């Protein structure tokens, strides 16, 4: 009896591994927080700034920007936003979806290239957008607005 139970446990573990692999391969599955952070970390390519950028990412920069975008996303589909609601959905997807996550990362990359995360003249001092008293929410909304209007935008290398 014990041998049968051990055999079934082994088969169950094997099936769970295969299922997990299939979920990882699925192109429309949502990204994990670790994957989002890893993708955002790749936006900083300068060796001297990498550790401080990592500190900002670990300081919840990704989550903070996503929170700001969640708050302003509803505005984008209103008539007075000047945006076509279909274009907004085409760019952002449903909140929480993989497409949404990729849009959040695109906004972060755009803001990074614009220097929006630099706290001051010291280029290595990155802001996490946790406190939006300095207008970080408006900057993020403007970036998202721009990217919705310009879906062809690609980061410079």
Q: Is the pTM of this model over 0.85?
A: no
Q: What is the C-alpha R_g of the chain?
A: 20
pLDDT of 39 reads: 95
Taking the C-alpha atoms of residue 128 and residue 50, their distance in angstroms, rounded to an integer, is 15
CA angle 65, 70, 71 (to 5 degrees): 100
pLDDT of 123 reads: 58
Q: For 95-105, write each residue's pLDDT tens digit.
A: 999 999 999 99
């Amino acid at each position: 009896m014990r041998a049968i139970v051990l055999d079934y446990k082994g088969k169950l573990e094997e099936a769970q591994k295969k299922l997990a692999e299939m979920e990882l391969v699925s192109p429309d599955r949502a990204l994990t927080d670790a994957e989002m952070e890893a993708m955002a970390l790749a936006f900083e390519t300068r060796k001297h700034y990498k550790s401080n950028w990592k500190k900002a990412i670990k300081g919840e920069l990704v989550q903070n920007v996503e929170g700001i975008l969640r708050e302003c996303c509803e505005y984008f589909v209103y008539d007075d936003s000047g945006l076509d609601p279909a274009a907004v959905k085409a760019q952002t997807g449903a909140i929480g979806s993989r497409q949404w996550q990729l849009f959040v990362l695109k906004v972060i990359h755009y803001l990074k290239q614009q220097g929006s995360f630099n706290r001051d003249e010291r280029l290595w001092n990155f802001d996490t957008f946790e406190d939006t008293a300095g207008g970080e929410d408006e900057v993020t909304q403007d970036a998202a607005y721009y990217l919705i209007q310009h879906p062809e935008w690609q980061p410079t290398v």
